[in-house]
């Protein structure tokens, strides 16, 4: 393990708002939070310590790739996910103020993250989960009275799941973090397969010769990320000399991937939203494809869902890849659904099988990626 490096594990914040006048509430035909101007967004992101590098939107929401992860803005919902040493929670207060200028009030808040690889490098208020919870408690309006903070541990010491939720008991059902038919999947992967991770490097001779957008498109195609959901519109970006981010848009649903490929602290994440009405085989195929692309040594899957019934398929998706489930924990959050947190590790036999016959430079030459040894 490297003594220091870039922190891949993201912090994730999801805020739901509702209109002060329910009779004239915001539907998909209204822009709501999407009316926030670029200057206001930049001010919020400046406080967080990140910037916008690419953007795309459709009739449902706007998607932004950030210098450290992603931002999604719906008419009444904002999701911000940032990595590194960003100060994500410093966005809470300004976002609440900006929403008020649009006639919107905060109805619920959900904050999640994994266990930092380099916790000592995190600035306040991310110095500890206790500090984060105190900061959130002080930032949120008192109307969000249903609150709970929990650390979900696992048998894999490097992977734990931190969750804080707060809900307004009087808010409409539409602003609850987990509608009855939706679930959110958050995947964290460490110890990425070296051959796969190498595809997210640019060779020294080509750094500066490609835009982040063009290099990102090449990485998306080379790795098969574009096949996770072929129907999605992808906004991707490659960083120099290494690293990758992607936001996918498919109707009113988003997906996102972020990769920190450096050896010693390699990390990748995948996140998407699904419905209980989706074909389960499609959901299994998506998660299995993610596992195949990165071949992680350790993988955690957190599902936030209306009930605890939506988790049993995860092992079916990953165990054929040689990822053995090590732990499974569940916790209920008042008015915010159930969180199911599972961890998996690659069996030694399967890792050796994957390594056999792999040309360490296979496919890498196509993109001009630089092996690190």
Residue 6 lies in a domain: no
- The pLDDT of residue 305 is 87
For tokens 């960003």, what's the residue? 86
294 is in an annotated binding site: no
Of 16, 67, 70, 83, which is the active-site residue? 83
Q: Vertex 38, ends 32 and 44: CA angle to 5°?
A: 90
Of 54, 69, 154, 266, which is the active-site residue? 69
Give the residue among 351, 256, 349 at the shortest CA–CA distance from 298: 351
Residue 317 lies in a domain: yes
Structure-derived torsion over alpha carbons of residues 283, 288, 294, 297, reported in degrees to the nearest 10: 120
Residue 2 lies in a domain: no
- The pLDDT of residue 20 is 60
191 is in an annotated binding site: no
Q: Vertex 54, ends 61 and 39: CA angle to 5°?
A: 75
129 is in an annotated binding site: no
Burial 138-177 (b: 16+ CB within 10 A, else e): ebbeeebeebbbbebebebebbbbbbbbbbbeebeeebbb
| CATH code: domain of residue 33 | 3.60.90.10
- The pLDDT of residue 364 is 38
- The pLDDT of residue 310 is 59
Instruction: Give CA–CA dist 106/78, Å, rounded.
Output: 11
Spatial neighbors of 157 by CB under 8 A, at least 6 apart, are: none
Residue 3 lies in a domain: no
Instruction: Give CA–CA dist 54/70, Å, rounded.
Output: 10
HSE-CB for 347 with a 13 A CA cutoff: 11
Residue 264 lies in a domain: yes
Residue 371 lies in a domain: no
Note if 16 is an active site residue: no
pLDDT along the chain (373 residues), means of 10: 76 92 48 95 96 95 96 97 97 98 96 96 97 98 95 90 92 56 94 96 69 91 96 95 96 97 96 91 96 97 81 90 95 92 85 51 39 24
Instruction: Calculate the CA 340 to chain-centre distance.
Output: 16
Which pTM was predicted?
0.89
Residue 225 lies in a domain: yes
Note if 126 is an active site residue: no
Cβ count within 10 A of residue 62: 18
Residue 361 lies in a domain: no
- The pLDDT of residue 26 is 47
262 is in an annotated binding site: yes
Of 16, 159, 162, 258, which is the active-site residue? 258
C-alpha pair distances (Å), 288 with each of 194, 198, 322: 19, 20, 11
Instruction: Give CA–CA dist 285/283, Å, rounded.
Output: 5
| DSSP secondary structure letters along 14-78 | EEEEEESSGGG---TTS-GGGG--HHHHHHHHHHHT--EEEEEE-SS-EEEEETTEEEEE-SSEE
Instruction: Give CA–CA dist 98/92, Å, rounded.
Output: 10
- The structural domain count of the chain equals 1
- Domain span at residue 72 reads 11-354
Note if 69 is an active site residue: yes
């Amino acid at each position: 393990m490297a003594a220091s490096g870039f922190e891949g594990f993201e912090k994730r914040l999801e805020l739901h708002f509702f209109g002060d006048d329910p009779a004239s509430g915001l539907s998909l035909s209204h822009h709501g939070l999407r009316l926030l101007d670029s200057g206001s967004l930049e001010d919020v992101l400046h406080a967080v310590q990140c910037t916008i590098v690419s953007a795309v939107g459709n009739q449902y929401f706007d998607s932004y790739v950030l210098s450290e992860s992603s931002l999604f803005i719906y008419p009444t919902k904002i999701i911000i996910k940032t990595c590194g040493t960003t100060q994500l929670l410093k966005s809470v207060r300004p976002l609440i103020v900006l929403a008020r200028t649009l006639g919107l009030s905060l109805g619920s808040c959900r904050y999640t993250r994994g266990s930092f690889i380099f916790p000592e490098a995190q600035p306040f208020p991310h110095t500890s989960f206790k500090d984060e919870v105190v900061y959130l408690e002080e930032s949120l309006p008192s109307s969000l009275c249903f609150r709970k903070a929990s650390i979900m541990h696992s048998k894999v010491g490097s992977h734990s799941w931190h969750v804080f939720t707060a809900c307004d008991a009087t808010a409409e059902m539409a602003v609850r973090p987990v509608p009855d038919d939706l679930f959110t999947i958050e995947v964290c992967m460490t110890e990425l397969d070296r051959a796969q991770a190498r595809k997210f490097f640019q060779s020294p001779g080509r750094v500066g010769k490609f835009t982040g957008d063009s290099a990102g498109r090449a990485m998306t195609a080379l790795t098969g990320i574009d096949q996770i959901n072929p129907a999605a519109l992808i906004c991707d970006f490659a960083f120099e000399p290494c690293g990758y981010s992607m936001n996918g848009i498919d109707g009113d649903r988003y997906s996102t991937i972020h990769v920190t490929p450096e050896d010693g602290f390699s990390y990748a994440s995948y996140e998407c939203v699904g419905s209980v009405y989706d074909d389960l085989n499609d959901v299994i195929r998506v998660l299995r494809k993610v596992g195949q692309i990165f071949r992680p040594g350790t993988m955690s899957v957190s599902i936030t869902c209306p009930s605890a019934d939506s988790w049993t398929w995860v092992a079916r998706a990953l165990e054929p890849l040689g990822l053995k489930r090590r732990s499974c924990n569940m916790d209920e959050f008042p008015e915010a659904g159930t969180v199911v947190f599972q961890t998996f590790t690659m069996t030694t036999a399967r890792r050796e099988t994957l390594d056999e016959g792999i040309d360490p430079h296979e496919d890498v030459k196509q993109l001009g990626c630089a092996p690190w040894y």
